[in-house]
Structure 1
Amino acid sequence: MSGIQGKLKGLEADWDICNKEDDRKKNLIKNLFAFIKEQENKIEEIESELLDKKTANKAYHKEKNEAKAQIEALQRERDRHLFAAVLIDGDCMPFKDGLVQEGMNGGRKAASLLKQAVEEALKSNAAHRHVVIRVYSNVKGLAKTYKGADVLSEGSTSFDEFIRGFNMSDPMCDYIDSGNGKECADVKIKANFEHYLNDVHCVQIFFGGTADNGYARLLGLHVEDETRCGRITLIEGGIPFARELEEIKDKFRIVNFEDIFRASKLEAPKRNVPPRNSPPPAAASPSPSPSTSVNYASVAETAQRAPVSPAGSTRAVAGSPKFATGSMVPTVLKNARGQRVDPPLKYEKQDYIDLRGRKMCNNFHLLGNCPYGDSCFHEHGKTLSAKQKQALRVFARQSPCKTVLSGVSCDDPDCYSGHQCPYGDRCDFDNCRFTDEMHLEDTTPVKTLTVR
C-alpha cells in the first residue's frame, strides 16, 4: 500500500509540474499576443502618420509644380518685354556731319546704324528682345551750332529733316528736343538713366554722354556695385572721354561707335572770344545811364550795407548763411526787366591761376557745406581764404544757373552760378552754354531784392 501511495504522490508531483508548464505556456502566449497588439497599434499610428505625410507631400509637390509653372509663365511674360536702352546726349555727342547734311535720309541712316551697332554689341546677351533709343538735345541751339561750325548753311532745314528721318526710321527710335539750354538734355538723360536702371525689364543701358564731365557723379554712384556696372555700357564716339569720366570708365563695359558720332566737338568760328580757361574781365562798375543814376557799385554798396532791423523785418531764408542783427542782409540784384544781374567780381589774377585746373567743390568752399560729403568728386580740404573764394566764384559763374525755366529768375542769394553770360557781347553766341535769355541786353541793376 505504501508503495502505491508513494507512486501516486510522484504522479501528482509530475502533474503539478505539467500544470505549471501549461501556465507558463499560457502566460507566454498571452504576453506574446499583448506584444503583437501593441506593435499593431504602433504600426497603425505610423501608417496614419505616413499617410498624412504622403498626402502633405503630394499637396506640396502639386503646389510646387503649380508655382513653378506660374514662375515660368511670368518669366516668359517678362522675357517678352526685355529691352536694352540707349541714351544719347546729342549736345555733347553729335552725329557725324555727313549724316546730318543728308537730312531725312541721313536721319534714317543714323537710327539704323545706331541700332545695328547696339544689336551687334548685344550678341553675347540674347535675353533682350527690343532696343529703345532716346536722343536728347537742345535742338534749336544745336542747329545753330551746326550752322556756326559751317556744317550746315544758314537757313538750311537739314537738321530738322535729319531729326524727322531719325524718328520715322523705327518706332522705338526717338530724337527729342529737351528744351533751350545745355542743362536741359542733362536733366532728361539723368532721369531716364535712373528710370531704366531700376526697371527689371532693362537688361542693358548704353550711355552716350561720355564727353561731358557732368555725368561723372551720375555714374560714380554705381561704381562699387558690380551688378549695376554690368548693366551699363559706355558709348565712346570720336570725342575722347571727359577727364572725370576717364577716371572711372574702367568700371564699365565700353563700345566704340566712332563711325556714327562726330570725331570732335562742334566748334563755331571764334569772333575774338577770350579762351574759356581765361578769366572774364573784372569789369569796373558801369557809368550811370541817362535814364537812371544807379549802377552796380551804388546798388551793390547799398545792398551790402543794409542792416537787419532788431525787430527782424529782414531775415535770411532757410538754407542761406545766417545773418545776426546788425550784419549784412542777403540780397539779389535785378535789372529793369526783373532779370537777375551778376555784379562784377574783384579778384587777384594769381589766385585765379592757382585755382585753375583744380576741381574745387563750390558747395564746400562757397556755402560751407557739401551734401555729398566724403563721396564728393571735388576737392574739399583746407578752407580757402576770402580772396581765393572770390577767384573761385569766377569759375563758378562760368556754369549757368539751373533754376527752372531760366537762371535769370533765380532769387537765391546763395546761388554762386552764372545768371548772365560772363563774356557779354564778345560771346561766341552759337557755342555758348548760357541760354538766349541769359545774354542780357541790360546789365544795369536798378533794384535790390532783399530776402525776407
Structure 2
Amino acid sequence: MARFPTFSPESGNPFSSSPSYSNGNLTTARTMPDQSTIDLFKDRHNRLMSTENEKNKLIEDLLCRLELTEDQYQRSRLDHDREIRYNREGQMRENQLQNQLRGVKGLMDRNAFVVVLLDGDGMIFSEELLQQGEKGGKEAASQLWGAMNDFVHRAIPHLSSPKILARIYANVKGLGDVLQMSGIIDRATLFEDFARGFNGSKLLFDFIDVGNGKDKADDKITEIFKLYLHDIHCHQILLGCSHDNGYARLLDDTMGDAMLMDHITLLEGVPFERELANLRASFRTTKFDNMFRDTKLATPYQLKNAPGPIQRPLQTIFANIPIGSPLAQVPSNSTTDEITNSTTTSITSKSNTPAPTWASMTAAPFIPSASSPAARSGMKNGTGPLKSTPGINRNRLGQRVDDLDESIPNEDIKRVKKLKLCNVYYLNGADACNNARCTHDHDYNITKNDLKTLRQVARMTPCYFKTECDDPKCIYGHRCPQSQPNSKECWYKEDCRFAGWGHGIDTRICKTTKV
C-alpha cells in the first residue's frame, strides 16, 4: 500500500488552501506540490485506470458470455420445440400406420389361403383309392382336405378358417397306362375317372392334366410355386415333390430368406431323394399317413421290358413282336381296332390256328425280340452283355444330356462316314438291324477306335423323341454336337438338323434316371 508523506505545519497541508497565520500576521501563502508528489498522483491515476480497464474488460466478457449462453439457450429451445413437434407428428403417423397395417392384415386374413402343390407323376395316391375310380377320387379329395385342415390348425394357429387349395399336375393318360401296366388298376381309364372325381369333390381342388412330355408337371409346378410364394394372401405352400431331385434347385433359390422359407412345407410321399433330404432340415416337413404311396412305380421302360406276364396296352405288345410273325405285318400307324381286325384276317387266311385274342396275348409271358431295347440292353458295343444297368443323365429342365467325345479328330469322323456302316448293327448288336433292305455295310471288320468314332457319328442324327427320349441305349442325338450351352444356333444355322430344339441345351447334369 502506498505511503504518503505526513503533513506538518511547516510544510503545510497540500489538500488545504486555508491561509497560513504566523506571528499573528495574516498571509495568503499557498504551498505548491513538488515533482515527487505529482508523480505519485500520476501513479495513482494510472493504477486507477488499469483497475477501471480490468473492470470494463470483465464486464465485456460477462456480456459476451451472456450473449453466447442466450444464443445456445434459444437454439436448444428451438430444438426442443422441434423434437416435441416431431414426436407428436411421429406418434400421429405411427397411429395412422398401425391403423393401415391392421386394415391390410384384415384384408390378408380375409382372403387367406394355403395351397398344396403335388407332382402327380410321383405323389401317387394309395391303391385303395385309385381302384375305386371316381368314388376314390372324391374320397382322396376329402382325405386331403381333412389332413390339410389339421395341418393348418397345428402349424398356423393364428388363422381361423383359411381357404385350402390343392393343385395336382400329372400326365393323366400316361400315368393311367403305367398304373394299368403295373397291375394297380384294371384299366387305364379308371385313373381318368379318379381325376374326374377329385375335381368334382371340392371347388378349390383341381387335378390338372399336363399331357404328354417330360417334366411338364415340374415346369408348371415351378411357375405356380413362384406365383404363390410372394402372394400376400398365401400363408403356406405344401410342396409334394419328394420323388424328384429337380425341385432342389427351386428350393435353393429361397435359401437365405427366413420369411420365404417359413412359408414352405415339404410334403413327403416316397422317401426324399438325396438332394432333397439334404435340404429337409431347413424347411418344415410333414407326411399324410396312408394317403400316398411310399414306394415308386416302375418306369414305362422297365414295365415294357420286364419279363413275365404283365398287362400292357395292345400297341406295346405289337411293337415288340419279332419280325416274321403274322402279327408283325400290321401297319404301324393303324389304330388298335384296325390292328386287331387286320391281324385276325391275316392269321385266318394263312392258318387254321385260332386268331389271337387280347386275353391269349396278355396271358403268355413276354419274350423280348433281338431288336427290342431289352435285348439290346444285353449288348455292349455289339460284343457282349452289360454288367450294369445304364442310366439317363438329365439337366435341371429334364432334358436328356448325352456325353459327346470332342477329342475325336474331324478326319476320323469324315473317314468313318465314308464307310457307310450300319449304326444299328454295330452299336446295338448283330441282331438289331432287321431291315432286309438295309444298304449300309454289315461286313466291315470294325476296330475299337472306329467303333468309338461311329458312336459319335450316330449322335449327329437327331432322335425322333428329341430331349424327351427315355431309352438308355438310344444311339441317336439328343442335342446338336456343334452347339454350345446357351447358344441358340450353331455353325449350320437354320440348315442344322437339330434346328428348333437341339441348341443351347444346359449340359450340367442334375439327375440320373436309372432304367
1:121-140 matches, cutoff 5 A:
121-122=151-152, 123-126=154-157, 129-140=162-173
Among 160, 164, 187, the alignment partner of 2:219 is: 187
Aligned to 1:74, what secondary structure does the other structure show?
Answer: helix
Partner of 1:309: none
| Cα shift readout 1:392-449 (whole Å, capped 9, x = no counterpart) | x99xx9995457xx99xxxxx95259xxxxxxxxxxxxxxxxxxxxxxxxxxxxxx98
* CA RMSD, Structure 1 to Structure 2 (Å): 5.5
| Cα shift readout 1:213-261 (whole Å, capped 9, x = no counterpart) | 5x35545634854735554333223x44446645655554432224111
Aligned to 1:93, what secondary structure does the other structure show?
Answer: coil
- Aligned AA (2:132): E
- In 2: Cα distance, 1:71 partner to 1:29 partner: 62
Taking structure 1 as reference, are residues 218 and 351 closer, same or farther at Cα in structure 2, changes over 3 Å only?
Answer: farther
- Aligned AA (2:167): R
Among 453, 475, 478, the alignment partner of 1:415 is: 478
Contact 2:239 2:266 in 1 (8 A): yes
Q: Establish whether residue 257 from structure 1 lines up as the match of residue 293 from structure 2.
A: no
- 5+ residue gaps, structure 2, are 1-8, 18-40, 308-318, 324-328, 330-375, 395-399, 407-448, 471-475, 481-494, 500-515
Return 179-188 or 143-152, whichever deviates more.
143-152
State the shift of 1:39 in Å: 4.7
- Aligned AA (2:205): C
- In 2: Cα distance, 1:151 partner to 1:86 partner: 25
What is the TM-score normalised by the length of structure 2? 0.48
Aligned to 2:215, what secondary structure does the other structure show?
Answer: helix
Taking structure 1 as reference, are residues 390 and 224 closer, same or farther at Cα in structure 2, changes over 3 Å only?
Answer: farther
Partner of 1:78: 108
- Aligned AA (1:259): N
1:236-255 matches, cutoff 5 A:
236-237=268-269, 239-242=270-273, 245-246=276-277, 249-255=280-286
- In 2: Cα distance, 1:145 partner to 1:182 partner: 15
State the shift of 1:385 in Å: 11
- Aligned AA (1:119): N
Partner of 2:3: none
1:94-243 matches, cutoff 5 A:
94-122=124-152, 123-126=154-157, 129-154=162-187, 158-181=190-213, 183-213=215-245, 215-219=246-250, 221-222=252-253, 225=256, 227=258, 229-237=261-269, 239-242=270-273
Among 305, 322, 325, the alignment partner of 1:274 is: 305
State the shift of 1:135 in Å: 0.7
Q: Establish whether residue 90 from structure 1 lines up as the match of residue 120 from structure 2.
A: yes
- Aligned AA (1:366): L
Aligned to 2:478, what secondary structure does the other structure show?
Answer: coil
Taking structure 1 as reference, are residues 255 and 270 closer, same or farther at Cα in structure 2, changes over 3 Å only?
Answer: same
| Cα shift readout 1:280-318 (whole Å, capped 9, x = no counterpart) | 99x99xxxxx9xxxxxxxxxxxxxxxxxxxxxxxxxxxx
Taking structure 1 as reference, are residues 165 and 416 closer, same or farther at Cα in structure 2, changes over 3 Å only?
Answer: same
State the shift of 1:194 in Å: 3.1
- In 2: Cα distance, 1:27 partner to 1:271 partner: 112
- Aligned AA (2:147): A
- In 1: Cα distance, 2:79 partner to 2:225 partner: 57
Partner of 1:287: none
- In 2: Cα distance, 1:72 partner to 1:93 partner: 39
Contact 1:89 1:185 in 2 (8 A): yes
State the shift of 1:48 in Å: 3.3
- Aligned AA (1:170): K
1:345-356 matches, cutoff 5 A:
348=381, 353=386, 356=389
- In 1: Cα distance, 2:454 partner to 2:267 partner: 37
- Aligned AA (2:219): V
Taking structure 1 as reference, are residues 252 and 5 closer, same or farther at Cα in structure 2, changes over 3 Å only?
Answer: closer
Return 127-136 or 197-206, whichever deviates more.
197-206
- In 2: Cα distance, 1:160 partner to 1:216 partner: 26
Taking structure 1 as reference, are residues 451 and 180 closer, same or farther at Cα in structure 2, changes over 3 Å only?
Answer: closer
Aligned to 1:87, what secondary structure does the other structure show?
Answer: strand
Contact 2:173 2:188 in 1 (8 A): no
Return 107-116 or 178-187, whichever deviates more.
178-187
What is the TM-score normalised by the length of structure 1? 0.53
> How many corresponding residue pairs?
330
- In 2: Cα distance, 1:247 partner to 1:352 partner: 36
Return 356-365 or 63-72, whichever deviates more.
356-365
1:289-328 matches, cutoff 5 A:
none
- In 1: Cα distance, 2:404 partner to 2:467 partner: 17
Contact 2:182 2:303 in 1 (8 A): no
Partner of 2:426: none
Contact 2:121 2:175 in 1 (8 A): yes
Aligned to 1:136, what secondary structure does the other structure show?
Answer: strand
Contact 1:134 1:175 in 2 (8 A): yes
Taking structure 1 as reference, are residues 358 and 173 closer, same or farther at Cα in structure 2, changes over 3 Å only?
Answer: closer
- In 2: Cα distance, 1:79 partner to 1:168 partner: 27
Taking structure 1 as reference, are residues 112 and 350 closer, same or farther at Cα in structure 2, changes over 3 Å only?
Answer: farther
- In 2: Cα distance, 1:120 partner to 1:101 partner: 26
State the shift of 1:146 in Å: 3.9
Contact 2:176 2:188 in 1 (8 A): no
Q: Establish whether residue 62 from structure 1 lines up as the match of residue 100 from structure 2.
A: no
Q: Work out the percentage of aligned pairs sharing the same amino acid.
A: 26
* Bigger relative contact order (CA 8 A; separation at least 6): 1
State the shift of 1:35 in Å: 6.5
Aligned to 2:237, what secondary structure does the other structure show?
Answer: strand
